[in-house]
Chain A
């Protein structure tokens, strides 16, 4: 099986768009010691999307709005928790994840084939992404990065949580939870040790190698990129001291 750029090309660009916001956000996540925040936020977004589905609303924008609203609500609640009980933040994030995941199952218990609605939001698949989705994601990501740069000094933690909710709600639908976690944490680890540029490089390398392996070996693209991101981060993150 040879490489076909028209198949893996859009997936690679999607990866770069996701990395653009996730590497700097991932650095903050690591500094704050809240690495599972993205899982909690993604799960809340899924809960919001499912709730909108259950209200008999099918419009694409309404589902997105429901997902984003739930993610933002959860993000602000978690920000409040961090200010009040910083010691328990990691535990509260974990609890938010399992409660939110269970809430979705309870919500869907009345809906046959409910499991499939859940998949819609959490299991984005990078090879299915279209150029229209990439353009939309790029525009939102640019907005997130600009706000991040402009307001970081003034809003601090609250802004971080809000922008994080927007970025993750978007990316999880494009590439799925595993890739979001990997894109957030692995290149950010490299960035903390060797600077943002090397972090970005390791991310791009991971997506490139993972998609190439997926094309050549014909294996599912998502898991292939996750493994390649781990390899690339390990290779670039470990600096040999002379």
Chain B
């Protein structure tokens, strides 16, 4: 009997030591990153797919159930998920992942944000007072988030700390090599000008030293004004751009219209992991972005 109890106790301890850390990732890029750093020590649930707009999420029961069980929440922050994450956190009532806890990890808090409004001016944009949240298209910022996320995983799951540290180091080395390659490949893009659909490529353009030649829809969720489109067309006639950049999520009509008007190519760029067929991993995401941007592929 005693031997049996000891066997059970040992089995329990063993399974406890190997218990996987449950990660709730708000977006596909953090899902991919958590898997890179956690390997089989983590079990990741992705709240959104690359085909969904992370600003808007339909309430499904599994979102609440998964967040309730999670040990760690990994989201972008900077108000990207302001429309649904606060209510979801309230419904899940999981103390481990509430704001301020180690189980609440926001990627935007780990990097410098661009487009931070200098004054609280409603006309300039009060909705993202912390800055532009679309940080995942800059590999330098991905590296900063990865380093911080690796430390956070080790902090929460100290039993696996050594594995997280090793995997994070390995990932950062491979990522640094890939980044050097990408930068070499992208040297020819420097100084080029692209029209964007929304202001979601700010970090990519900042990294590549590429210019924005204007935005088709300066206010997401609202159709552009006729005067704005006319002015944009005029600007492009005066000074040519190198293409129109849109993500597969956005409505193609506006970009197609501008392409017909100006003769510029429309370049579809994956905005996150899985957004296009050739962007299956974090590495493939940037391969795909650079390939499409320098090829000018339609």
Question: Could you tell me which A residues sit within 8 Å of B by CB distance?
Answer: 1, 4, 7-8, 54, 56, 105, 108-116, 118-120, 123, 125-128, 130, 214-215, 218-223
Contact = CB atoms under 8 A, between A and B. Distances in A.
B64 A7 contact: yes
A231 B122 CA distance: 46
Interface of B: 55-56, 58-65, 82-84, 87-88, 90-91, 122-128, 218-223, 225
Instruction: Provide the main secondary structure of the chain A interface.
Output: helix
Contacts of A1: 61-62, 65
Contacts of B61: 1, 4, 7-8, 127, 214-215, 218, 221
A105 B59 contact: no
24 contacts: A4-B61, A7-B61, A8-B61, A105-B222, A108-B222, A109-B222, A109-B225, A110-B123, A112-B124, A113-B219, A114-B219, A114-B221, A118-B221, A120-B83, A125-B59, A127-B91, A128-B59, A128-B91, A214-B60, A218-B60, A220-B58, A221-B60, A222-B58, A222-B59
Which of A113, A114, A126, A220 has the most chain B CB atoms closer than 10 A to its own CB?
A: A113
Contacts of A109: 219, 222, 225
B76 to A, nearest CB: 15
A126 B220 CA distance: 25
Contacts of B83: 116, 119-120
Nearest to A108: B222
B183 to A, nearest CB: 32
Max chain B Cβ within 10 angstroms of own Cβ: one of A112, A215, A218, A222: A112
A219 B59 CA distance: 8
B222 A125 contact: no
Contacts of A8: 61
A2 to B, nearest CB: 9
A105 B63 CA distance: 31
A130 B90 contact: yes
Given A4-B61, A109-B222, A116-B221, 9 more contacts: A1-B65, A111-B123, A112-B218, A112-B219, A114-B222, A125-B58, A127-B60, A128-B87, A220-B58
